[in-house]
Amino acid sequence: MITLTPKAVEKVKEIMSQQQPAPEGLRIAVMGGGCSGFSYSMAFDNANTGTDKTYEYDGLKVFVDPMSLMYLEGAEVDFVEALEGSGFKFNNPNVKHTCGCGSSFEA
């Protein structure tokens, strides 16, 4: 299971409310690439593909494809605000190594 913190849900819903037309939900995926082999992807989507696992957090639908779910099992997505900037942060217990820039990982 992948979880989103209340702060992450609030921020995603805020951004979604500004989209026209409003998307159905958020797709979280793991993509090949980056200096460590994999990177995270978050994008708005309008439907479950039929094989996706769908989670719901306070009315927010989150779609995850089966391949990505293997790498995201047990992960938590948070939204952090700091002096250096703000953004979504993945806390993923499956990660063995991250790159120096922090945008890609090895599982």
Q: Which residue did the predictor score with more confidence, 65 or 83?
A: 65
CB 28 within 8 A of CB 68: yes
Burial class (CB in 10 A: 0-12, 13-18, 19+), 14: exposed
3-class SS at 10? helix
The pLDDT of residue 101 is: 54
- Is the per-residue pLDDT at 61 higher than 80? yes
Range of the domain at 28: 3-106
Q: What CATH code is carried by the domain that includes residue 72?
A: 2.60.300.12
User: If pLDDT is split at 50, 70 and 90, which confidence band does 103 have?
Assistant: low
Gap between the Cα atoms of 14 and 43, Å rounded: 14
- As for how many domains the chain has, the answer is 1
Note the pLDDT of residue 2.
Answer: 93
Length in residues, the chain:
107
Mean pLDDT, the chain, integer: 87
